Amino acid sequence: MALCALLSGHLSAQAVEIVAAIHYSSEYTTNTLLTDDNEIGEWIHAPGVNLVAQHDSAALALDVGYDYIRRIYQKDIFQDENVLTGVSTARWYALPQRLDFFVSNSRTESTVRARQAETQANRQVISNTSAGSTLRFRPRGADELQFEYSFHDINSNQTRTDSKRHNATARYLVGLSANRGLQMETTYSNIEYEGLFPDAQFLIASIGYSQTSRMLDLDINVGYNWYDREERGGTGDPTYQAALTWRPTPTATLAANAFHGIVDQSTSLDGTGSAVENTGINAAFVETRGDLDLSQSFGRTLLTIGGYWVQEEYANDVPLDNSRIGGRVALSRNLTRRTSLTITGDYSNRDFRDQGDEQDEVRADLRASHRINRSLELSGTVSFQKRAAQTSRSYEEWRSGLALYYTFWGASR
């Protein structure tokens, strides 16, 4: 509360850039249940409000963006729903270069059961609210020693995956030059799960290297992480994370990312839709993923081609191991100063080997948008998706619709 009061007092004296808009979309789906038989078509209407706020000064950095929509279903198969998603962060530099405080919140919409179709009955909103502080010291030259504490409150509106986390981090940054540095970091996390689920402790130690230049940005971290679950024992595994952005020409960009480490959350449930032990809801698993994208612009046209691979391997004999491999392509073009066209396509193969299920998914989208004036934008979309599965549900669906976006306050007008 004291931090909020200080932030309010500072914001009252400094300008905050705010952009506010209302929007409305109307979309028709040929298969609202995403089933392979008895397909039902209906209109889905979605009025909403979008709000963005930004502020950046020597004492305070603020970035807020939320979108609220109400989905109204033409038929009574699903109940109308309210959905709020977005991200907000605020950092107050109480003592510049020495002590700062931060608060943040993210709200994301995701599926509940990974193998089932993404209908309203299989979606939930996950909220992650965190707060903490960072204490900084300059022991020598460009080096910096940091001690950080953060508290995280994670909640979902359907599954019993709520948890509270206390993180303590010690970090030492070595400034090799103006654009190169080393980082050594250790983080301990105490995780308190909801209800009777056993708690856990998480420890990770890593060393990293980063550099930036006109043509190349590179960030690499390697280390080891330990995960110890009460009543279940512990597990450990090496960890690494790498991000590379290469700009060989002014019009081309290659981006690559890789990750390997222990993750402690899952979106799997048992067959009744209830969270019980041994379903993997709170089981630890080792996640390995890689992502590669190549973007090339040709005047007013941008082409992006990419691919990805993800694997989840569970501990404690939880039978939820799975892997996914896929590719994507996107083509966008500014037809005129006010009109743009975007075409995207995505293919993936997901193998749930412990359940004996394999899914092939194809999705294609076409979107055209036209800015009528400084405040009003009109867009139209057509999309197709198809899933072919061995044991879970197969389906195909066409969607088409129109949307209006009206900015009534802010700089974008």
Q: What is the mean pLDDT of residues 239-251?
A: 96
Q: What is the mean pLDDT of residues 191-208?
A: 86
71 closest CA partner among 62, 81, 63: 81
Q: What is the pLDDT, as a whole number, of residue 392?
A: 87
152 closest CA partner among 137, 141, 167: 167
Rg (CA), the chain: 24
**For the whole model, what pTM was predicted?**
0.84
CA distance 83 to 48: 9
Tell me: pLDDT of 114 over 90: no
Q: What is the pLDDT, as a whole number, of residue 275?
A: 35
CB half-sphere exposure, 404, CA atoms < 13 A: 10
Alpha-carbon torsion (175, 180, 186, 189), positive or negative:
positive
CA distance 193 to 333: 47
Tell me: pLDDT of 213 over 70: yes
Rounded-to-5 percentages of helix, strand, coil across the chain: 5, 70, 30
24 closest CA partner among 50, 62, 63, 57: 50
Residue with tokens 């019009």: 251
Q: What is the mean pLDDT of the chain?
A: 88
Residue 269 binned pLDDT confidence (cut-offs 50, 70, 90): very low
What tens digit of pLDDT does each residue of 224-241 get?
998 887 766 677 889 999
Residues contacting 159, CB < 8 A, separation 6+: 112, 124, 267, 269, 275, 281
Q: What is the pLDDT, as a whole number, of residue 14?
A: 58
Q: What is the pLDDT, as a whole number, of residue 205?
A: 97
Tell me: pLDDT of 390 over 50: yes
What structural domains does the chain harbor?
Answer: 2-409 (2.40.170)
Percent of the chain whose predicted confidence (pLDDT) is above 90: 67
What tokens does 25 get? 């979309």
Whether the CB-CB separation of 386 and 361 falls below 8 Å is answered with yes
Instruction: Lowest mean pLDDT of 23-32, 128-137, 253-262, 306-315, name the range.
Output: 306-315
Percent of the chain whose predicted confidence (pLDDT) is above 70: 89
What tens digit of pLDDT does each residue of 81-111 get?
999 999 999 999 999 889 999 999 999 988 8
Q: What is the pLDDT, as a whole number, of residue 282?
A: 62
What tokens does 253 get? 């960009």
What tokens does 44 get? 């889905």
What tens digit of pLDDT does each residue of 341-354 get?
999 999 999 998 88
250 closest CA partner among 291, 293, 299: 299
3-state secondary structure 33-77: CCCCCCCCCEEEEEEEEEEEEEEECCCEEEEEEEEEEEEEECCCC
CA distance 238 to 250: 37
What tens digit of pLDDT does each residue of 40-74 get?
999 999 999 999 999 999 999 999 999 999 999 99
Q: What angle do CA 85, 90, 91 make, to 5 degrees?
A: 155
Whether the CB-CB separation of 54 and 61 falls below 8 Å is answered with no
